[in-house]
């Protein structure tokens, strides 16, 4: 048997607070309305019992003074909303012993003389009706047909309660929105905390608690930016300063007489030069994009990139068409696709770049290969700087471990996302999802 699903709470704090407060408010309104109805019923019952004895006593006194043939004509004038009178024999129902009967009997006993005994029975046909049987002094039966009912609610009551509830809910919505807006702003600022993005300073105003939280967040953001900037400056400085000794070592290696040793040393220096260049590029990208956006035909940009690979003898082909001219950073976009294509060519013989429009208005650039792929447990780690998959830790194909990290940085700077997925039939699909605006 399937278990019944528990009711789901709203996921946002705004929704949860509104749900709790509105339900509490409606419950309080329902309790208040119930107390009002109970008090109104008790008041109506007290008024009915108070007036019942006096009205019946007055009616009996009037009928006693009227001629017998005129009594029936007066009954219409003497009836009330809850009861009416009937002369003559009336079928009697079963006697009743309920609290209301005792209260009615006590009311009549205080108003009628002892010479008018009253018998209270239920209606013969059933229901909530009570029949009060007595006899006039000449023996004529008189029945008071009592239908207990309470005062009706005024027509304006329910609309007034509805308007009151709507006003209270509106003020609750405003209060909860004012209380949760700083949290939403804090979450948005935290989401935008990227080394590539400009710092978003939260306003340090509002209630004391909100101002203190904003001030603490701004201070934390400034410290994080300082730490990141210092780390990247160190990386950039070390990478830059290594270029000079590497150049001197290359010159000295050229003077070696042993060709074998010279080639090995030059190969090592070439690898070091590549690592330095990638380190400088990574540090530069981490400090943000300085490239000025311009209107770019994406199909033409990516088509020219593929033609460059084809001219170099590489098996790279382009599939799909975007037909988009966007305001973007073309060099950053070209660097993203180039790094992905170079990485794919290291491990696969054929590379395909696929362009596609997505359902949410964004567009995707996928770089597909038929290489060994990346294990699922390492697909997040390879996006970190200087991380290399174990199978690629060799001088020829391992690279510096910065290619995908740079792609990740540039993709985030363009407002997109990078995902690595294993292809059916083997290989890797690196998918860059970017906004069309």
Where along the chain do its domains lie? Answer: 13-146, 195-288, 290-434
Q: Judge: domain 13-146, CATH 3.40.50.740.
A: no
CATH, domain range 195-288 = 1.10.287.130
Instruction: Indicate if the pLDDT at residue 390 is higher than 70.
Output: no
The segment with the largest mean pLDDT, out of 106-110, 175-179, 297-301, is 297-301
The segment with the largest mean pLDDT, out of 159-163, 201-205, 256-260, 389-393, is 159-163
The span from the CA of 311 to the CA of 356, in Å, is 25
SS3 429: strand
Asked whether 405 and 343 are in contact (CB, 8 A), the reply is no
SS3 54: helix
Q: How confident is the model at residue 395 (pLDDT cuts 50, 70, 90)?
A: very low
If one compares 288 and 265, the residue with the highest pLDDT of the two is 265
Instruction: Indicate if the pLDDT at residue 127 is higher than 70.
Output: no
Structural fold of domain 290-434: Heat Shock Protein 90 (3.30.565)
For 238, other C-beta atoms within 10 Å of its C-beta total: 13
Any idea what DSSP says for residue 265?
H
pTM score above 0.85: no
Asked whether 254 and 262 are in contact (CB, 8 A), the reply is yes
The span from the CA of 109 to the CA of 217, in Å, is 80
Chain segment 19-51, per-residue pLDDT in tens:
888 888 889 888 888 888 887 777 777 777 777
């Amino acid at each position: 048997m399937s278990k019944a699903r528990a009711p789901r709470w709203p996921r946002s704090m705004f929704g949860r607070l509104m749900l709790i407060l509105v339900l509490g408010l409606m419950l309080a309104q329902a309790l208040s309305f119930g107390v009002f109805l109970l008090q109104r019923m008790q008041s109506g019952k007290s008024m009915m019992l108070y007036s019942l004895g006096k009205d019946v006593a007055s009616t009996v006194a009037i009928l006693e003074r009227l001629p017998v043939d005129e009594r029936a004509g007066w009954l219409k004038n003497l009836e009330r909303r809850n009861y009416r009178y009937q002369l003559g024999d009336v079928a009697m129902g079963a006697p009743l012993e309920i609290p209301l009967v005792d209260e009615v009997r006590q009311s009549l006993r205080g108003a009628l003389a002892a010479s008018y005994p009253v018998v209270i029975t239920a209606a013969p046909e059933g229901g909530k009706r009570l029949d009060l049987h007595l006899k006039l002094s000449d023996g004529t039966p008189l029945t008071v047909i009592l239908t207990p009912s309470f005062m009706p609610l005024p027509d304006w009551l329910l609309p007034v309660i509805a308007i009151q509830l709507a006003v209270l809910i509106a003020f609750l919505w405003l209060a909860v929105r004012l209380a949760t807006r700083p949290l939403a702003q804090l979450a948005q600022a935290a989401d935008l905390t990227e080394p590539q993005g400009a710092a978003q300073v939260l306003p340090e105003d509002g209630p004391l608690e909100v101002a203190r939280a904003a001030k603490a967040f701004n201070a934390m953001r400034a410290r994080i930016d300082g730490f990141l900037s210092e780390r990247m400056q160190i990386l950039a400085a070390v990478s830059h300063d290594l270029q000079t000794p590497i150049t001197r070592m290359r010159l000295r290696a050229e003077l070696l007489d042993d060709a074998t040793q010279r080639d090995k040393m030059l190969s090592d220096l070439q690898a070091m030069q590549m690592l330095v260049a990638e380190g400088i590029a990574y540090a530069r990208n981490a400090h943000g994009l300085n490239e000025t956006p311009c209107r770019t035909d994406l199909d033409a940009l990516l088509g020219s990139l593929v033609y460059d690979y084809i001219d170099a003898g590489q098996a790279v082909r382009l599939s799909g068409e975007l037909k988009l001219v966007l305001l973007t950073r073309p060099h950053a976009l070209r660097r993203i696709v180039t790094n992905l294509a170079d990485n794919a060519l290291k491990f696969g013989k054929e590379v395909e770049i696929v362009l596609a429009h997505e359902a949410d208005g964004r567009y995707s650039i996928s770089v597909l290969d038929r290489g060994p792929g990346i294990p699922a447990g390492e697909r997040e780690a390879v996006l970190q700087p200087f991380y290399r998959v174990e199978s690629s830790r060799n001088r020829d194909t391992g690279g510096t471990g910065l290619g995908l990290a740079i792609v990740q940085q540039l993709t985030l700077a363009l407002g997109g996302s990078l995902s690595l997925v294993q292809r059916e039939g083997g290989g890797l699909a690196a998918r860059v999802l970017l906004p069309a605006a």
